[in-house]
Chains A and B, each alone.
Chain A
Amino acid sequence: MTIQPVVIYEEDARELAQRLDAFLRASRSSLVILIDRSGQIIAERGYSRKRDVEELAALAAAAFAATEQVAKLIGETSFSVLFHQGEERNIHLSVVGDAALMLTTFDDRTTLGLVRLYAGDAAQSLMPVMQRIRSRSTPPDLPDMSGREFFRSQ
């Protein structure tokens, strides 16, 4: 089986941003990241330091995958929501269909209940866009990068 890449065009990015912004406003959260199950970022909105977000996405996807295995060990197919409570900031992780996760960070300006409530709505609104994105094949106009030295030891 060939692993098909996710292809995101401007129109997709705009639609995802609109839906994620609406979720951020309604839930009063600070950051939301839409993550592919393999740990790659599909879209992000809210405040973040760019590089931290990549690490956050990779770790969250891994944590979710591990928890999914734990669920199977106790006879569940999956846990649909993960919640991590901190002193000041919290993380809410929920599924968007079978291919993506939505990670939300929030603080005491909102509540877990509110985030949960709107996360469910947001997941529903994101699914048609995700299905469209995932049903595409790779576009032909990628640059030729053969023979390129990407990294050099310094």
Chain B
Amino acid sequence: MASINYAQREITCKIVYYGCALSGKTTNLEYVHRHVPATEKGGLVSLSTQGDRTLFFDFLPLEVQNIGGFTAKFQLYTVPGQVVYNATRRLVLRGVDGIVFVADSQWSRVRENVESFQNMLDNLGQYGYSLDSIPYVLEYNKQDEPAIAPRHYLDFTLNRRTRRVPVFETVATTGEGVFDCLNAICQLVLARLRAA
């Protein structure tokens, strides 16, 4: 849930990276953490298993100063993608202000993407939230893989709601498109706050 603190001149927002297992959510945060200046970031907290799979969430606080006299703070979270961790995925969505849905672009993962998207809708619904009122963007990740579904097909499966949302084709391992996607969701979240 966003907070606007006039005493400290701070705006804080929560952005969640959602998607199926191994789609690259944690890799997004790791890339951002490695490539933003130290003055703009806190530590990357990863609650993962011994096998480096996300158990609860990853957390990365970012901030930008002097945005119209405010400091804008963005708290980035990932959810665990594995099906078995649905209860923790739901907890991470509590108070979410913006979502990056990270899809795996490979043909072989189309079904998992669709199921994960539906799972996100269901989990949002548990809090009474709806994607109609929460800013979100789509990230078609792993564009460097050899057998990827074409953009129009991924759009057909994931970007078919009444409101079409921005799409970013990314390679999170090399950072291609990662910052474009991050900046877009930050803009959308703040625009929504301003219009609320």
Chain A interface residues (CB < 8 Å from chain B): 1-10, 12-14, 36-42, 51-52, 54-55, 58-59, 62, 65-66, 69, 137-139, 142-154
Contact = CB atoms under 8 A, between A and B. Distances in A.
Contacts, number: 163
B75 A1 contact: no
A2 to B, nearest CB: 5
A142 B92 contact: no
Interface in B1-24: 1-8, 11-12, 14
B95 A145 contact: no
A65 B94 contact: yes
A36 B97 CA distance: 13
A13 B175 contact: no
14 contacts: A2-B196, A3-B96, A3-B134, A5-B97, A14-B7, A37-B95, A54-B75, A55-B45, A62-B47, A66-B88, A137-B196, A142-B11, A150-B182, A151-B40
Given A65-B94, A143-B68, A148-B67, A13 B5 contact: yes
Given A139-B4, A151-B182, A69 B91 contact: yes
Contact of B72 (A6, A36, A150): A150
Nearest to B31: A153
B1 A58 contact: no
Given A38-B96, A40-B3, A145-B68, A154 B45 contact: no
Contact of A151 (B32, B70, B75, B196): B32
Interface string B166-196: 0000000001001100110011001101101
Interface residues of B, number: 60
B51 interface: no
B91 A62 contact: yes
A38 B1 contact: yes
Contact of B75 (A8, A39, A143, A153): A39
Contacts of A9: 6-7
Interface stretch (B54-62, B104-112, B136-144, B149-157): B54-62
B72 to A, nearest CB: 7
B182 A143 contact: no
A40 B12 contact: yes
Interface in B33-76: 35-37, 40, 42-43, 45, 47, 56-57, 59, 61-62, 64, 67-70, 72-75
B194 A144 contact: yes
Contacts of A14: 7
A38 B61 contact: no
Contacts of B162: none
- In order of increasing CB-CB distance, the 5 nearest A-B pairs are A143-B68, A38-B95, A13-B7, A5-B2, A51-B42
B131 to A, nearest CB: 11
Contacts of B178: 153
B128 interface: yes
B8 A13 contact: yes
B7 to A, nearest CB: 3
